[in-house]
Amino acid sequence: MAITADKAKRYSGSGLLYLVLAVVSALSLLPFLWVVLSSLKPHDELYSKHLTFWPHAWTLKNYTQMFERMVGFGLYYRNSILVSCGTVVLTLFVGSLAAYALARFRFKGNRALLLIFLGTMMVPGEVGLIGQYELLSSYRLLNTLTGLTLSYSAFSLALTIFVMYSVFVSVPQELLDAARVDGCSWWESYWQIMIPMGASGLAAAGTLVFLNSWNEFIFALTMNNWSDEARTLPVGIQLLQGQWQHWDYGVLFSSVMLSFLPVIILFLLLQKTFMRGLTAGAVKG
Amino acid sequence: MIFLVALLVMIGALKVFGQMFIMTQGGPADSTLSMVLYLYNIAFRYGKFRFGYASALAWFLAVFIFLVAVASFRLSRERD
């Protein structure tokens, strides 16, 4: 945001552009900043008549209060992590294998299969809500972490195949041929060539899948909301409303902040790989 | 690229659910009811579990989104 004097001169032609960009980024960052600051405000300041942006007094009481009052928080957190990580592992494994087959093997219906997979990305997930509910209910998988993981994996698969296909197609065929001559089986060349070559793609797809399943709300709400044991974090946070009829904003903000933590950590860790992976398939033309 | 982003955001907005469900529950007097919230209510909220009608609504939404996508593609091609 801070533009130094000579840089500002260089960009003066596009000054308007930077103004617009600054306004837009401020618009998207301010609400988030407000939640961060509000989670550190004491209770009476949150509920006072005069709206404050910057806290007058700083406190961590909201966080300690949250752990006292939101009994299932740790459980919801664990559930969310298990479901999201399970989805990522399952989707990346199945999806990259499928992409490997689609990108590297010539068989009948290869093209059609790829188009069908990509076509499922066009269908909104909510269409499958009721069908999946009945399916999981007939397999006794409602209100289990396994059921939700399978459901999320089904939706994330198309995206993973899409990303991994564009990565795997750009791996030079000579490399695979050389491995084949040296006696590599298809399975070995998957593990020893495709996976290392597609690492950045895997990281990008994995991050997207993790974020999607971490934030997912409506499926978790319909399928895993019968008891505490399989409830995920977004649904758990939403329950804060029911427990006291009105939102306890201090507890709400601090729980939102903590639910945001893994996302920030993941993004900071994988930022570079993530960007590279997203553009890897795109630039090829 | 900007076209694709616009289309994706538009599709995402057509599928909006969480905001209404959490903040207003579709009220007051259904003025903030969205398509997905409506079909969720039909299927799981009103206690009758009318899955058939809700599935029909879901498919209507899917077809509508598909038509919006096709129309946007057509329009963007004409301008080029």
DSSP-derived 3-state class of residue A40: coil
Q: Which of A254, A244, A241, A246 is nearest to A35 (CA)?
A: A254
CB contact under 8 A, A122 and B69: yes
Say whether A241 and B65 touch across the interface (CB within 8 A).
no
Rounded distance, CA A167 to CA A212, Å? 21
| Residue reference for tokens 């909006």 | B16
Could you say which residues of chain B have pLDDT below 70? Answer: 78-80
Cβ count within 10 A of residue A115 = 9
And the tokens for A124?
Answer: 């909104």
Cα A108–chain centre separation: 34
Residues in chain A within 8 Å Cβ distance of B22: 238, 241
- A164-207 pLDDT tens trace: 998 998 888 888 888 889 888 888 888 888 888 888 889 889 98
Are B55 and A131 inside 8 Å of each other by CB? yes
Q: Is the peptide bond before B28 cis (omega within 30 degrees of 0)?
A: yes
Q: What is the pLDDT of residues A216-244, one digit of tens each?
A: 999 998 888 777 788 899 888 888 776 55
pTM for this model (two decimals): 0.83
Q: Does A24 touch chain B (CB under 8 A)?
A: no
pLDDT in tens, A58-79: 888 888 888 887 778 889 999 9
Q: How confident is the model at residue A6 (pLDDT cuts 50, 70, 90)?
A: low
- The residues, any chain, with a CB within 8 Å of residue A159's CB and separated by 6 or more, are A121, A205, A208, A209, A212
Secondary structure element (H or E) that encloses residue A189, with its range: helix A186-189
| H-type alpha helices, chain B | 2-14, 18-23, 35-40, 51-79
What's the first-to-final CA gap in chain B, in angstroms?
13
Q: How far apart are CA A154 and CA A148, in angstroms?
A: 10
pLDDT, mean over chain A: 84
pLDDT reported for residue A285:
36
Q: What is the pLDDT of residue A43?
A: 79
> Could you tell me if A241 lies within 8 Å of chain B, comparing CB atoms?
yes
Quote the pLDDT of residue A139: 92
Kindly identify which residue of chain B lies nearest to residue A133, measuring between CA atoms.
B51
pLDDT at A1: 42
Higher pLDDT, A140 or A49: A140
User: What is the DSSP-derived secondary structure letter of residue A142?
Assistant: T
Q: Which residues contact A175 (CB under 8 A, 6 or more apart)?
A: A193, A197
Contacting residues of B for A130, CB less than 8 Å apart: 39, 43, 51, 54-55, 58
- Decide if A217 touches B, using CB distance below 8 A: yes
| Residues 6+ away with beta carbon under 8 Å from A63 | A39, A254, A258
